[in-house]
Amino acid sequence: MSDTDRFRIPIVRGAIAGAVAWVLGYLVTYLVVIDRVQGDWQAELLQFVTDDASDWKIVGWLFYNAHNVEIRMPNVTFGIFTVENQNFVAADDGSLWLLYLVPPVLLLLAGALVAATSEASLRNSSDAAIAGATVAVSYLVLAVGSLFLFGVTVGEDTIRPDTIPAVLLAGVVYPVVLGATGGMALWIASNRDE
C-alpha cells in the first residue's frame, strides 16, 4: 500500500471541531438557562454560602447534566435539609429536557464536518467513522479540564460534576460514538448515489 492510498487521520481538524462543539454546547446551555439560574433559590442559597458559586459555574453543571453526568454534592446540610448528588436537568422540568439534545446534535455535526473536510482521503465508512471520532481528542481534554473550572468550594469539600462519569460519558463515550456516527452518516449520504 503506497502512502497516497493510506487514510490520514485528521486529528487537528477533529480537535478543532471537538473544541468548537464543546464551546458552542456550553454557550447554548448558558443562553438557555442563565435567567433560570439567576432566579433559582438553590443557586442563590449556594452563592450566599460561598463566594465561589458563580452563575457560569452552575451553567457548567447543567452542561455536564446534558451529558447525563450528575453533580457530586457533598452531604451539605442547609438548616433542615441535606443536598446530595443530583442532576439539575430533568425531563419533567419544562423545556430543560431540550438540553439533552445539545451535545448529541453538536457532536454529530462536528463528526460530519470533520469527515466532510477529509472526504478526499476517505476510502470507506470506517475511515469516515474514524475521522468523525477524532472530535473526542479535544472534547476529552475540555471535559477533564472543566471539572476543575466548574468546581465550587464549600467548606472543605468541592461541588463539581462526578469525575468518572464526566470523563467517561462526557469526555469519551459522547464524542467517540456521536462523532463517529456523524462521520459515517456523511459518508453514507455522500455515497448514496454511487
- Domain assignment present for 87: yes
pLDDT for the residue 60: 92
- Domain assignment present for 2: no
All three cell numbers of 105, joined, read 446534535
pLDDT tens-digit map of 154-179 = 777 788 899 999 999 999 999 999 99
90: pLDDT strictly greater than 50: no
81: pLDDT strictly greater than 70: no
Count the domains in the chain.
Answer: 1
pTM to 2 decimal places: 0.86
Domain that holds residue 139: 10-190
- Domain assignment present for 98: yes
182: pLDDT strictly greater than 50: yes
- CA distances 89 to 62, 69, 93, 116, 141, Å, are 6, 10, 7, 33, 23
Mean pLDDT confidence for 98-123: 91
All three cell numbers of 192, joined, read 448514496
pLDDT tens-digit map of 143-152 = 999 999 998 8
- Cell 487514510 belongs to 7
